[in-house]
Amino acid sequence: MNLRKVVVFCGASMGFRKVYQEKAVELGAYFAKNNIELIYGAGKIGLMGAIADAVLEKKGKVIGIIPELLSKEEVLHPNLSTTIITKTMSERKLKMSKLTDAYITMPGGFGTLDELFEVLTLQQLYIEKKPVGLLNIEGYFNAVLQQLDVMVKEGLLKQKNRDMLIVADNVEDLMKQMVTYKSPKESSIINKVVK
């Protein structure tokens, strides 16, 4: 799979552990080195700002997409390659979906989890067939992954859909898995429902 543009979901806060910022910088440097454009929420603060700054510092390209209500001067990153302002959060997500080849989720809060589960749902319904990666820095997402396993065990999530989520604890491994990702085949029932 050719990854030229990748959406990264992550926190507008840095978190309490320096490792989150270090991994955001590492991922940003990887993108720039490999000519992958970063698509993200356009913020200059937190992990969002850290990854954008890392890409820009290495002369890479960054597309920021932000809804009007969040586009205040103190939040919006001023130095992006491209900034797109949308009317709503939903429009922002749709624009990201249209532009990206894949998704990566890093540590974050409610918004980050919302974005992760929305794109996993798009994959489950075969609306999209793009890799969805989780950079599980020092076990940050372990409890989330355990919950997914409970959902499979209890018969509320299919194993093949659980397996759509690519998980790694380091950048190189995550990117290798994402490049070789193959989307599961559509089931005929879903195909009829979606179309």
Domain regions of the chain by residue span: 5-194
d(CA 46, CA 66): 15
User: Tokens in use for 148?
Assistant: 């997914």
CB 151, CB 162: distance < 8 Å = yes
Q: Which of 102, 122, 105 is nearest to 113 (CA)?
A: 105
The mean pLDDT value for 99-125 works out to 96
User: Tokens in use for 157?
Assistant: 């999530």
CB 46, CB 70: distance < 8 Å = no
Q: What is the dihedral of CA 177, 182, 188, 192, to 10 degrees?
A: 80
Average model confidence (pLDDT) for the chain? 93
Radius of gyration of the chain (CA): 16
Per-residue pLDDT band at 189 (split at 50, 70, 90): very low
The mean pLDDT value for 117-125 works out to 95
Bigger pLDDT: 147 or 184?
147
Would you say domain 5-194 falls under CATH 3.40.50.450?
yes
d(CA 84, CA 92): 9
Query: Tens digit of pLDDT for each residue in 170-181?
Result: 999 999 999 999
d(CA 67, CA 179): 30
**Percentage of the chain modeled with pLDDT above 90:** 87
Per-residue pLDDT band at 74 (split at 50, 70, 90): low
SS3 185: coil
pTM given for the model:
0.92
